[in-house]
Structure 1
Amino acid sequence: MKIAHRILMLLAMSALAIVFVTPLLFMVASSFKSEDAIFSNIASLSAYMPSESWSLDNYREIFSRSQLPSFLLNSAIIASSVVVGGVLLNSMLAFALCRLRWGGRQAVLAFVVALLVVPFEVIAIPLLSLVARLPWPAIEHGALTLQTGWFNSLHVQIIPFLANAFCVFLFYQFFRDIPQELDEAAKMDGAGPWTLYWRIIMPNSGPVIATAAIVLFIAAWNQYLWPIMVVQGTGARPVQPGIQQFFGRSESWGQIMAYATVVTLPVLAVFLAFQRQFVASVVGSGIKG
């Protein structure tokens, strides 16, 4: 029975792997082909591997015909800022909820959990109205002034997404499993809350930090609705709205697949780099998929 169960699990996981990997293989393979080569063998297995006449022409075209390098740089800045700031901010809140004792802690935790079921579309319009009124320092004619509105900037795509309810809950669940005896021993040596957080909790939270980094990076990298709402120019535009702009300029499916491949590779690289920590965090925090 155990052998049969393992075989069935292996078959099920293999089937799921084929379902998820096949579109990626087709996308990458098509990015090296011409328009005719993509559709000439689309019904055969050769559609999922580069052809004999493969080339980098599609990649040369997307970098020469679009502002992809600028879009990639903007998305890299946004995603890295959200990851670094989000890990610090969400872990601090989770530490305060889990390891400190203060009035209203349970109410705040309940509010964070309630936010898990609120989609971004619900708060998009109120958030847009808020950032339209917020001031931001700017230099005009050599003088520092405050301008109203955060539109057409990178910070409008970073600051609203630093706090993440799911990441707070993820950190909270992981911090609960860290023995309280570590806190007590550190307090006996005169450690305060900041020392407990920075010297005790965070060094023992590598798996959940990696998981939160993956979650925040993917969310920031895949931003589409919000940049369309707050960014009208191309100076602060990230890669996802840039895809829509490129689709309107090119009808070549080879170039479209090349663009999609370039945009997808950073997400795959980040996940593959932290996949072991991600699995360890999911198992350690008691979250079942």
Structure 2
Amino acid sequence: MKKKRLIHRVTMYVILTFLSFLFLFPLIWMLFSSLKDEFQIFRDMSSLKAFLPPRPSEVEGGYFQNYIAAFQRVDLFDYIINSLIYTIGIIVFGLIVNSMAGYALARFRFPFAGFWLGVIIATLIIPPESIFLPLYVLVYDLGWVNTYTGLIVPFIANAFAIFLFRQFFLDFPRELEEAAKMDGCSQLGIFFRIIVPLSKPVFATVAIVLFINHWNDFLWPLVVASDESIRTIQIGLQYFMNEPPIQWGQVMAALTVATIPMLIIFIFLQRYYVQGLTHTGTKN
């Protein structure tokens, strides 16, 4: 039996390692292509050299020539800062609002609670693009066009985040809350002093989901942020494709820079992310 388990475990590790490399291939190709010039990118396209860095003798101007040229061509730093403000604003306010909504749905008993939960979940099937026009009209009437407020506020509430929080809080032991009530702690105090500190996995999961979703946003920032001073990185990347000449080495360098924040967030929060997915959705 031990031998069979060992063989099974080794086989699983081999399969998972192969799949991980399979998913990493596009990132590896993008990274190494960002270090090459136009000729080298297309020369290596049909061979395994596409997944290898260029030789030092083949690089003129250093490995980071495309990165330097990309930052000189477009102010990527400002676009990255705008994207960070946009996504972090949604995450911070979204964690507060969605966690409180999920906690209310999991713990409080009020009329039509099941109905409102169904309405919230039903909004997941509505394409966001279908509400952009009325949403833009509302933002325009409020005077929020070309402001961070107009970018952030419409996406603070998130149905999927509320659902994840509710499912996680359903598994939370009620004994801790009852003990806190006996000590005279208010409901709001219970939430912020007991529930939040012990719910790091689901908070990390929601933070990663929100970050990935909104870091990659293109249409809404394009619609509501016509002022270049608050445009996000995804809009900035379009300059490399719309303004000739198209330098593919610079395009890959800009894409690599835009990918780095997502990788950093996931690397630091992946442990909590896995725990959050594991403990979410086990109760109805």
TM-score when normalising by structure 1? 0.89
Q: What whole-Å deviation, never above 9, does each CA across 1:90-148 have from its counterpart, x for those lacking one? A: 001111111223223222211111122222122222212221212xxxxxxxxxxxxxx
Change (3 A) 1:239 1:275: same
Partner of 1:110: 118
Superposed, which structure 2 residues align to 1:157-236 within 5 Å?
157-236=151-230
Partner of 1:255: 250
Are 2:139 and 1:131 equivalent residues in the alignment? Answer: yes
Unmatched runs of 5 consecutive residues or more in structure 2: none
Q: 2:29 touches 2:51 (CA, 8 Å); kept in 1?
A: yes
- Partners in 2 of 1:184 and 1:103 — Cα distance? 23
- Partners in 1 of 2:23 and 2:281 — Cα distance? 25
Q: Of the candidates 65, 77, 85, which is equivalent to residue 77 of structure 1?
A: 85
- Matched pairs, number: 273
Structure having the higher strand fraction is: 1
Are 2:22 and 1:19 equivalent residues in the alignment? Answer: yes
Are 2:109 and 1:101 equivalent residues in the alignment? Answer: yes
Are 2:278 and 1:267 equivalent residues in the alignment? Answer: no
Q: 2:240 touches 2:247 (CA, 8 Å); kept in 1?
A: no
Report how far residue 226 of structure 1 moved: 0.6
Cα RMSD between the aligned structures?
1.6
- Partners in 1 of 2:115 and 2:28 — Cα distance? 47
Report how far residue 69 of structure 1 moved: 1.1
Report how far residue 247 of structure 1 moved: 1.6
Q: 2:164 touches 2:281 (CA, 8 Å); kept in 1?
A: no
TM-score when normalising by structure 2? 0.91
- Partners in 2 of 1:124 and 1:4 — Cα distance? 53
Q: Secondary structure at the match of 1:235?
A: helix
Partner of 2:53: 50
Q: Which runs of 4+ in 1 moved over 6 A?
A: none
- Partners in 1 of 2:131 and 2:164 — Cα distance? 22
Partner of 1:138: none
Partner of 1:38: 41
Q: Secondary structure at the match of 1:232?
A: coil
Are 2:278 and 1:286 equivalent residues in the alignment? Answer: no
Query: What code does the residue aligned with 2:273 have?
Result: F
Which deviates more, 103-112 or 18-27? 103-112
- Partners in 2 of 1:131 and 1:16 — Cα distance? 44
Are 2:248 and 1:240 equivalent residues in the alignment? Answer: no
Report how far residue 232 of structure 1 moved: 1.6
Q: Secondary structure at the match of 1:286?
A: coil
Partner of 1:139: none
Partner of 1:155: 149
Q: What whole-Å deviation, never above 9, does each CA across 1:168-210 have from its counterpart, x for those lacking one? A: 1111111111111111111111111101110111011000011
- Partners in 1 of 2:126 and 2:93 — Cα distance? 22
- Partners in 2 of 1:286 and 1:111 — Cα distance? 18
Report how far residue 7 of structure 1 moved: 4.8
**What percentage of residue pairs aligned between the two structures are identical?**
42
- Partners in 2 of 1:235 and 1:102 — Cα distance? 45
Q: What whole-Å deviation, never above 9, does each CA across 1:62-86 have from its counterpart, x for those lacking one? A: 1111121111110011111111111
Report how far residue 244 of structure 1 moved: 0.9
